[in-house]
Amino acid sequence: MSEDFFHHIWKYRLFDQLELKTTQGERIEILKPGSHNFDSGPDFFNGKIKIDNTIWVGNIEVHINSSDWKKHFHQNDKAYDNIILHVVNNADVELYRHSGEVIPTIELKDRIHERLYQNYIGFKSSNDWIPCEKQISGVPSFIINSTLDKLLLERLERKSFIIMNSLSLNNNNWEETFYQQLARNFGFKINAEPFELLAKSLHSNYLRKHKSSLLQLEALLFGQAGLLFEHFEGKYPQQLQNEYAFLKQKFKLQPIEKHLWKYLRLRPVNFPSIRIAQFANLIYTSDHLFSVILDIENAADLKKILNVSVSEYWETHFVFDKISTKKMKQLGEEAINNLIVNTIVPFLFVYGKQKNNETYMNRAISLLEDTAGEGNSIIQKWSSLGLSVKTASATQGLLQLKNEYCSHKKCLSCSIGNYLLKNV
């Protein structure tokens, strides 16, 4: 039996508690198993038990065998001298405090249902897409929904760390940090890194100074992207080159390398050149975008702002100097939803936390509930298992469940896994 599983048994009291006694024959009642400690020190803090007629409050240690106490050298650590209870599967030795008093111990080896452990082993040894793939259809919807709600918040907290780190590097400049993260997500995974590097190489203040001219905005962005350093036949790219040459000198800019951009296996509408043109248009049509977003209360108004297209030149081009059939090339609904889910919502959530204002945090959740969920391969697989969800709030929870729990077989830390361990 693993120690993780035995901790789980104790934490959720999944053992027969009828006529429970210590190894010394004292009657014991578990009033509170304590708070699980994942750092150094006793396994459970602030437990509460009743031995005969005396109530004890304090820390509890959990081991497979009593002798593990000595293997872990707890006898040399004063932090363990005031343990109120030692919980073991097998009481193979008796333990004493430094005072000579016996440490109260309970043995659970005959009180744990064999089915629980067999279910646990079944999950741990599963080679399915998720360990409970064959059982999850039997989980009540309220358990799944409550799990996804919890995991959504967990996912937002994880994204918060990334934003907070970036915010710190930008001296708590929200506008600049938002601009950089928005640029990163305009790269949509494949070109996320070069897009972020582009934004970091070009301070938003430089763009703001020239936002009245779409030509100059494109010159700055395409130039800093490293895409203007070749011979062009067309008039427009030549104009961009001339503008950029002046602006590069003016702001003493250093562009990123052209080779960083990826085109392979991308549809032309997703080429970096088109995304940069759309990004330039978004900056051109909006001012202090993060401040504007703070005032928007619904997804529909947000989508109107993000529903940008490209300049006239890019309506007939996917790359410089190669004419294509005229097309508007607006940022599609899926791309807009992606920006809402991965940029705007996390920023609202973090801003609300930092300002201690739940209005923004609640608005972030509402935006996810009003936005269609992702249609990626992970969500499609969940759908095939019967978890067909429509909103981004639910799909974000499912992504967190798969990536952080199922893929690592953390069934003991999952509410769905807990239910199935007891009920399969």
Tens digits of per-residue pLDDT, 5-43?
Answer: 999 999 999 999 999 999 999 999 999 999 999 888 899
SS3 assignment, position 273? helix
Instruction: Report the distance separating Cα 112 and Cα 89, nearest Å.
Output: 9
Residues whose CB falls within 8 Å of the CB of residue 332, separated by 6 or more in sequence, listed in order? 269
Tens digits of per-residue pLDDT, 117-137?
Answer: 899 999 999 999 999 999 999
User: Which of 104, 53, 57, 59 has its CA nearest to residue 80?
Assistant: 59
Mind listing the pLDDT tens digit of every residue in the chain (424 residues)?
Answer: 889 999 999 999 999 999 999 999 999 999 999 999 988 889 999 999 999 999 999 999 999 999 999 999 998 888 898 899 999 999 999 999 888 899 999 999 999 988 898 999 999 999 999 999 999 999 999 999 999 999 999 999 999 999 999 999 999 999 999 999 999 999 999 999 999 999 999 999 999 999 999 999 999 999 999 999 999 999 999 999 999 999 999 999 999 999 999 999 899 999 999 999 999 999 999 988 999 999 998 899 999 999 999 999 999 999 999 999 999 999 999 999 999 999 999 999 999 999 999 999 999 999 999 999 998 999 999 999 999 889 999 999 999 999 999 999 999 999 999 999 888 5
Tokens at 192, concatenated: 């996320």
Residues whose CB falls within 8 Å of the CB of residue 399, separated by 6 or more in sequence, listed in order? 155, 374, 378, 379
Handedness of CA 348, 353, 354, 357 (dihedral sign): positive
Instruction: Report the distance separating Cα 208 and Cα 327, nearest Å.
Output: 28
CB atoms closer than 10 angstroms to residue 280:
25
The 3-state secondary structure of 376-401, one letter per residue: CHHHHHHHHCCCCCCEHHHHHHHHHH
Residues whose CB falls within 8 Å of the CB of residue 417, separated by 6 or more in sequence, listed in order? 123, 131, 132, 405, 410, 411
pLDDT of residue 198: 98
Contact of 68 with 93, CB cutoff 8 Å: no
pLDDT of residue 114: 87
Element (H, E) at 370: none
Instruction: Report the distance separating Cα 131 and Cα 424, nearest Å.
Output: 13
